[in-house]
Amino acid sequence: MEALSTAVAAASVLSAGFIAYRELSEVASSRHMEVAYRLFEELNSPQNIDARRWIFQNLNGNPEDEIKTMTQEGRSAIKQVLNSLDHVAFLTQAGWIPDDVIMPWMHPMIAKSWKKLKPFVLHERTRRHAPYYYQNIDQLAIRCVNWRSKHIPNTEVTWIEDAL
């Protein structure tokens, strides 16, 4: 009787542990889906799509010259995308959501945006004497590049005219 009682207690503990593990897995999965949804909404908002399109079509990588003649529309587009990328960097901090969940659909937007914006951010950091200016985007871009090189080797950013 004592052995049977011990076996039942052990089975109960193991069952409870398994149920707790499953519940924690479901909570983590639910949290990842919520973060992924917020990222998708952020990056695919009409304002961010329009701002990225302006950046892709108008920035040529020479911040000293381009800033002098930039329109308010251009300044707003740059600020919109930088703020969006900073928000994405915050939501994807190490450990909050696995890169393999978000990078397959997110990497093109980040890589292309950062390729155009990086010279401007570096210029502003120097000009403002603010090495922390949009610093979190650096780590996000590095993670994006590393993911791309691991999963899509020899990939280059391609610029096309009249993209959808």
Q: Does residue 12 have a pLDDT over 80?
A: no
Question: What's the confidence (pLDDT) of residue 133?
Answer: 96
Question: What's the confidence (pLDDT) of residue 82?
Answer: 97
Question: What's the confidence (pLDDT) of residue 75?
Answer: 97
Question: What's the confidence (pLDDT) of residue 93?
Answer: 83
The string of DSSP letters for the chain reads -HHHHHHHHHHHHHHHHHHHHHHHHHHHHHHHHHHHHHHHHHHTSHHHHHHHHHHHHH--S-HHHHHHH--HHHHHHHHHHHHHHHHHHHHT-TTTS-HHHHHHHHHHHHHHHHHHHHHHHHHHHHHHT-TTTTHHHHHHHHHHHHHHHHHSTT------TT--
- Structure pTM? 0.79
Q: What is the overall mean pLDDT for the chain? A: 85
Per-residue pLDDT tens over the stretch 16-48:
555 555 555 554 556 667 878 888 898 999 999
**In percent, how much of the chain has pLDDT > 70?**
80
Question: What's the confidence (pLDDT) of residue 30?
Answer: 62
Q: Does residue 96 have a pLDDT over 80?
A: no
Question: What's the confidence (pLDDT) of residue 153?
Answer: 82
Question: Between residues 29 and 102, which one has the greater pLDDT?
Answer: 102
Lowest mean pLDDT among 2-6, 43-47, 145-149: 2-6
